[in-house]
Chain A
C-alpha cells in the first residue's frame, strides 16, 4: 500500500474568496470572448463588402466549337486583365449593385435560345436568332481597353463581330439617325430588376456614324469562350472610346430611330452621365476626377487618355462638338 501524499501546508490552500473569484474569472473570460467575437463578427459583416472570396470562380461555359481569327488591327500593347478579374469585378446592375454580385447572380440567365428583335427604320423588321447572326459574320478576337466611368480600367480580349457589318446587313433606311439597344427585361433571369435602382429595361444608343465606326463591336465572348452572364451574355455592345456603361449587355432589341434615344444612366442622372459618354480626362464627373484611372491589377493610378487612347480613330466624329457640354 502506497503512502498518501503529504498534506499541503496551510499557506498553499486556496482561500474561499479566491475560490469564488476563480469562478468569476472564468465567467468574465467567457463574457469577454463571447462579446468580442460577436462584436467583431457583426462589425465585419456590416462593413465588409465587394469581396471576391465568396465565389471567385469564373462561371464560363466551354466554347461550343467556335472558330475565330485574331484581328491584328485591334490589339493593345499592354498586358491583358486576368480572366478572374474580368469575370468577378463587374457592373451589371440587373444582377446586383456590388462588384461581386453579377458573378454570383448570373446563374439564372438562359442564353440559348436567344433572339434579337430588329425594329424601326429598317427595310425589314424581324426577329433574328443569335446563332444565325453569328453564322453570318463569323467571329474575330479584338483586344480593347475598357474604361469605367468609376475611374478603373481593364484590357479585355473580346470575341464577336463588327457592329457596322450587322447594320449593313439589317439595312436601315435614311430616316435612321440613331441605333438603340435594349437589355432583356425579365426579373426571373435578371433578379435585381425587382429593385428600382435604375429604370428598366436598360437602354443605350449610338449616333449612326458612331455605330458605323470600325471600333464599334458586338461581343458574344471573351478570352475565346462565350460571354459569362456577368459580362453581358450572350450579346453585348463594346465601344472602347466610351465609358463602360455605354456597353449595353444581354441585348434583345436593336431599334433604328430618328431621335436621340433616352438612355438609362442619362435618364437617371442627366448632369452626371451624358449621351455621348466619351472617355475624356479633361471633363470630370461632377463628383470625381476623370484625369486618372486604376488599371485593375495595378496599385498606382495612370493617366486617362482622350477617347481612351482611340482618338485617332474617333476624334473626327466629334469635330465642332463642344465635348465639355456634350459629355
Chain B
C-alpha cells in the first residue's frame, strides 16, 4: 500500500503518524479493560503479560525494517524503524513499572533481590537496561556525534535485547512454549538476513581492496 502511494507521488508523510497512532490502541484497550474489570480475575498478571508481549512485538517489527529493505527493496519500512524501536523501549518500561509499582507494590528491595536471584527476572531486567543506551542515541544527529561505527554497535544491542526478551518469555511459560519459540524463529530469520548481508558486504569490500 505504502509502496504504491509512493509511486503515485502522494508522499509517505502520513505513514509514521498512522503507525504511532495505531500503536496506542493496545494501550488504550488495556487501560479501558483494567478500568472496566475486563482484564479478568488477575488483571495485574494479564496487563503484565500483554505489555511484555507488546514490547517484544514492537522490537521484532523494528528489527524487521532493514531486512525488508534488503530482501524486497522496500524503503518505506525504514521510516518506521526508529518509531517502532522507541515504542518497544517505552512499552518495556511500562511493563517494568507495572511489575515494580503494582505487582510488587513498589518494594524496590524485593525486586532487586529477585533480579539477583532469579534468571527469569534478571534476563528481563538486563534486556530493559540494554535498551537505555539505544534509546538515548536515537536522535537524528546521534550517528554523527558518536561516529557511525559506534552508533551502529550500540544499536545492534536491540538484537541482544530481543533475544533476551524471548528467553524471559520462555522462562515465564509453564509448558506451552510455542509462542515464544515462534518469535524466536522470526528473530533468527531476521538475524540470518543481516548476517548474510554483512558477510556479502565484507567480501565485496575485500575484493575491492585486492583489486
Chain A residues engaging chain B, CB cutoff 8 angstroms: 24, 27-29, 31-41, 43-44, 46-53, 56, 81, 84-85, 88-89, 93, 97, 99-100, 150, 152, 195, 197-198, 268-269, 287-289, 294, 296-297, 299-301
B22 is an interface residue with CB less than 8 A from chain A: yes
Interface string of B51-94 (1 = CB under 8 A from A): 10110010000000000000000000000000000000000000
Q: In chain B, what residue has the closest Cβ to A84?
A: B41
Bound Cα distance A93, B174 (Å): 11
Chain B residues near A34 (CB-CB < 8 A): 1
Report 18 cross-chain contacts, Cβ distance below 8 Å, ordered by A residue. Answer: A27-B10, A31-B10, A35-B14, A35-B15, A35-B18, A38-B22, A43-B25, A44-B26, A47-B53, A49-B46, A50-B40, A152-B45, A269-B175, A287-B120, A288-B120, A289-B118, A294-B42, A299-B102
Chain B residues near A41 (CB-CB < 8 A): 22, 25
Bound Cα distance A198, B177 (Å): 11
Bound Cα distance A31, B76 (Å): 14
Interface residues on chain B, size class: 35 or more
Chain B residues near A51 (CB-CB < 8 A): 33, 38-40, 46
Nearest first, the 3 A-B pairs at minimum CB distance are A40-B25, A39-B22, A89-B41
B142 is an interface residue with CB less than 8 A from chain A: no
Known contacts being A38-B22, A89-B40, A152-B42, is A43 close to B57, with CB within 8 Å? yes
Chain A residues near B57 (CB-CB < 8 A): 43, 46-47
Q: In chain A, what residue has the closest Cβ to B51?
A: A47
Bound Cα distance A51, B117 (Å): 31
Contact yes or no, A52 B41, CB < 8 A: yes
B49 is an interface residue with CB less than 8 A from chain A: yes
Select B54's contact among A33, A38, A47, A288, beta carbons within 8 Å: A47
Contact yes or no, A39 B38, CB < 8 A: no
Most buried by A among B15, B18, B39, B114: B18
B138 is an interface residue with CB less than 8 A from chain A: no
Minimum Cβ distance to chain A for residue B141 (Å): 28
Interface string of B1-42 (1 = CB under 8 A from A): 110010000110111011101111110010001000011111
B143 is an interface residue with CB less than 8 A from chain A: no
B105 is an interface residue with CB less than 8 A from chain A: yes
Known contacts being A99-B40, A297-B41, is A287 close to B119, with CB within 8 Å? yes
Minimum Cβ distance to chain A for residue B79 (Å): 12
Select A99's contact among B19, B29, B42, B103, beta carbons within 8 Å: B42
Contact yes or no, A35 B22, CB < 8 A: yes
Minimum Cβ distance to chain B for residue A319 (Å): 29
Chain A residues near B21 (CB-CB < 8 A): 32, 36, 40
B137 is an interface residue with CB less than 8 A from chain A: no
Known contacts being A39-B19, A301-B104, is A47 close to B42, with CB within 8 Å? no
Q: Which secondary structure dominates where chain B touches chain A?
A: helix
Q: In chain B, what residue has the closest Cβ to A81?
A: B41
Chain B residues near A33 (CB-CB < 8 A): 18
Contact yes or no, B118 A40, CB < 8 A: no
Interface string of B100-130 (1 = CB under 8 A from A): 0011110000000010011110000000000
Bound Cα distance A53, B175 (Å): 25
Contact yes or no, A288 B118, CB < 8 A: yes
Contact yes or no, B49 A50, CB < 8 A: yes
Bound Cα distance A31, B13 (Å): 11
Select B22's contact among A37, A50, A89, beta carbons within 8 Å: A37
Q: In chain A, what residue has the closest Cβ to B58?
A: A43
Chain A residues near B38 (CB-CB < 8 A): 51-53, 56
Contact yes or no, A93 B22, CB < 8 A: no
Known contacts being A40-B24, A287-B118, is A88 close to B105, with CB within 8 Å? no
Bound Cα distance A165, B162 (Å): 55
Contact yes or no, B25 A44, CB < 8 A: yes
Bound Cα distance A297, B120 (Å): 26
Minimum Cβ distance to chain A for residue B103 (Å): 8
Bound Cα distance A7, B20 (Å): 45
Select B50's contact among A37, A49, A93, A296, beta carbons within 8 Å: A49
Chain B residues near A93 (CB-CB < 8 A): 175
Bound Cα distance A71, B112 (Å): 44
Q: In chain A, what residue has the closest Cβ to B5?
A: A31
Chain B residues near A84 (CB-CB < 8 A): 41
Contact yes or no, B49 A28, CB < 8 A: no
Known contacts being A31-B1, A97-B176, A297-B41, is A40 close to B46, with CB within 8 Å? no
Chain B residues near A195 (CB-CB < 8 A): 176
Bound Cα distance A84, B40 (Å): 9
Contact yes or no, B175 A36, CB < 8 A: no
Interface string of B136-153 (1 = CB under 8 A from A): 000000000000000000
Bound Cα distance A180, B182 (Å): 36
